[in-house]
Amino acid sequence: DSGVTQTPKHLITATGQRVTLRCSPRSGDLSVYWYQQSLDQGLQFLIQYYNGEERAKGNILERFSAQQFPDLHSELNLSSLELGDSALYFCASSVDSGSGNEQFFGPGTRLTVL
Amino acid sequence: AQSVSQHNHHVILSEAASLELGCNYSYGGTVNLFWYVQYPGQHLQLLLKYFSGDPLVKGIKGFEAEFIKSKFSFNLRKPSVQWSDTAEYFCAVNANQAGTALIFGKGTTLSVSS
């Protein structure tokens, strides 16, 4: 158990819908990262938040957005869902935003878009 | 842009065989290097990391990796694999000047038969 929790574990929805994925970082960690893992693209960085503020953006679609709340949990919002958005979405957390910090990964949310 | 290449998509070994998984990255500056493992049904876990110093780093469960700067490589090794090492292995890089997100390779699936 990494200490990072993600809900829900599985999510099945239809194209065009909107979903919200939730992540609670390890106690004391200020930085949260979101990654998408798909068969064709592998593990890709989406976005990072540090202490409530957006810190870095990766290959995140405009239909996706995220935020980090004052209690440091984070939510990833995916809208106008397409079949290709089906993937495993991981959240990771680290102590701060330093490049050498180990990132601890949650168990992931498996999203299936039908 | 940074990228990570893992040469072996699927490796099949018998117990007690030696393992070497290749990883090359493309980035000219200072990097931090990581190997993560994902056991079936579990979250990503850090095996080992290299930030600086001795290029031969030792991780958990008998794994080690060698950073060869001239070859932009960070290969993972284990002298004698066990059935329980069956998992997917990901090499990742983080460049100090490019933020703290991890850039992952596509992963190598290791299957160990007893």
The dihedral formed by the CA atoms of A1, A10, A50 and A45, expressed in degrees to the nearest 10: 100
Helix/strand/coil percentages in chain A, nearest 5: 5, 55, 45
**Cα(B62)–Cα(B96) distance, rounded to whole angstroms?**
28
Instruction: Provide the pLDDT for residue B97.
Output: 57
* Closest-CA residue to B44 (of A78, A73, A43): A43
Q: Quick check: B40 and B87 in contact, CB under 8 A?
A: yes
Q: A-contacting residues of B 95-114, CB under 8 Å?
A: 95-96, 99-107
pLDDT range class, residue A80, cuts 50, 70, 90: very high
Interface test with B, best of A26, A32, A40, A99 (most B CBs within 10 A): A99
**Cα(A77)–Cα(A67) distance, rounded to whole angstroms?**
9
Instruction: Provide the pLDDT for residue A41.
Output: 86
DSSP line for chain B: --EEE-S-SEEEEETT--EEE--EEE-SS-EEEEEEEE-TTS-EEEEEEE-SS-SEEE-GGG-EEEEEGGGTEEEEEESS--GGG-EEEEEEEEEGGG-SPPEE---EEEEEE-
The predicted-structure confidence for B51-104, as pLDDT tens digits, reads as follows 889 999 999 999 999 999 999 999 999 999 999 999 999 999 987 555 678 899
